Structure 1
Amino acid sequence: HQPWIAAGFVRNRVWDRLHGYTQPTPLNDIDVLAFDPERTDRAFEAEIERQLGTILPGLPFEARNQARMHVKNGDEPYRDVEEALTHWLETPTAVAVCLNRADRFEFLHPFGLNDLLDMIARPTPAGSVKMREFDERM
């Protein structure tokens, strides 16, 4: 059950670099994605946040078990983190990264990386169905 970092944290870091910013955009949170269909309670997410807070104190981690997020989003259950990303609203945030056991970065990007690297915020197919929510996020 490899945790992934995703959403605004990844997008902001990439866009800050592409803009040439020397100071990173302030963090609202660091989205940590997990997937465990056996532990769909909030306590599991709190445990992940607590563990990360011990390793990197003071950072605003927000863990979400994607095995339960389909309920919040009104979708069918997701098979894994990558499928959950396909239900996110905008393409440049539907990118996740983790450090694998070989100490190499691994990426999930169901809509590719072009919008992230071209600094384009467009709705995903799910976002196109929920345009009001997409517009509110922009």
Structure 2
Amino acid sequence: MDLRGQDDILLAFRNDPRMMEILEAAQTLNLKDWWICAGFVRSKIWDIIHNFREPTRIDDVDVVYFDKTNTDKANEKGYEQKLKQILPSVPWSVKNEARMHLINGISPYTSTQDAISKFPETATALGLTFANDGSLHLTAPHGVEDVLNVIVRPTPYFLESSDRMRIYSRRLKQKNWKATWNQVTYLVE
């Protein structure tokens, strides 16, 4: 499959029964402003670009949502347990972005999409959800060009701060994406 833009990315996910099963499981929680994001989206795209026959193992499936009315961390763990009952083999991670600014020591996010826009890398600042009409929806606050060109660069938010850039540099070493996807190019290391 040739990926040229958002429509091709959405088609790739719609045509993958396992990915759709995971998205549909997350949808059952009826969370406010929910998305499955980051590596779940990026890895699928890069696997296709690299012509992998089998999907790359994902360390966790990040389900993020935004609910200011209840920021108790225990809720997130409860949601993870519900998802594990539906799909026990999936490594679920559920986070309420309405409280994550406290963990990250920054100003509060205004929405889940705002939080995604402030992820470390443009190629990871991606998320999928279902729109009200049931169609699959992709958010890509920094576009899809970097992920489609297998380029890793910091988001503008991370470029603003030397502390954040240190986090970004550590992530590049820890993630070591080039070991899995040999076409990866780091533009800022």
Same fold (TM over 0.5): yes
- 2:157 match: 126
How far did 1:133 drift?
0.7
State how far apart, in whole Å, the 2-side matches of 1:51 and 1:98 are.
18
SS at structure 2 position matched to 1:76: coil
Q: Which residue of 1 aligns with 2:130?
A: 99
What is residue 171 of structure 2 aligned with on the other side? 137
| TM-score, length-scaled by structure 2 | 0.70
Hey, what does 1:28 align to over in structure 2? 59
Q: RMSD over aligned Cα, in angstroms? A: 1.2
Equivalent residue number for residue 78 of structure 1: 109
Q: Does 1:43 align with 2:74?
A: yes
Question: How far has the Cα of 1:15 moved from its partner?
Answer: 0.4
Unaligned runs of 5+ in 1: none
Q: What per-residue deviation string (whole Å, max 9, x for no partner) do you get for residues 115-134 of structure 1? A: 11111110002222211111
As a proportion of its length, which structure holds more helix? 2
- TM-score normalised by the chain length of structure 1: 0.94
Between the two proteins, the alignment pairs up a number of residues equal to: 138
The yes-or-no answer on 1:64 pairing with 2:95 is yes
Shift of the alpha carbon at 1:43?
1.2
Residue 102 of structure 1: how far off its partner (Å): 2.6
- Higher relative contact order, structure no. (Cα contacts within 8 Å, ≥ 6 residues apart): 1
Deviations 1:65-91 (A, max 9, x none): 000111111211111001111221110
Instruction: Using the aligned pairs only, state the percent identity.
Output: 38
- Tell me which stretches of 4 or more aligned residues in structure 1 moved more than 6 Å: none
Structure 1 stretch displaced more, 63-72 or 47-56: 47-56
The equivalent of 2:176 in structure 1 is none
CA deviation profile, 1:42-99 (whole Å, cap 9, x unmatched):
1111122122112212210000100011111121111100111122111011101012
Aligned to 1:9: 40
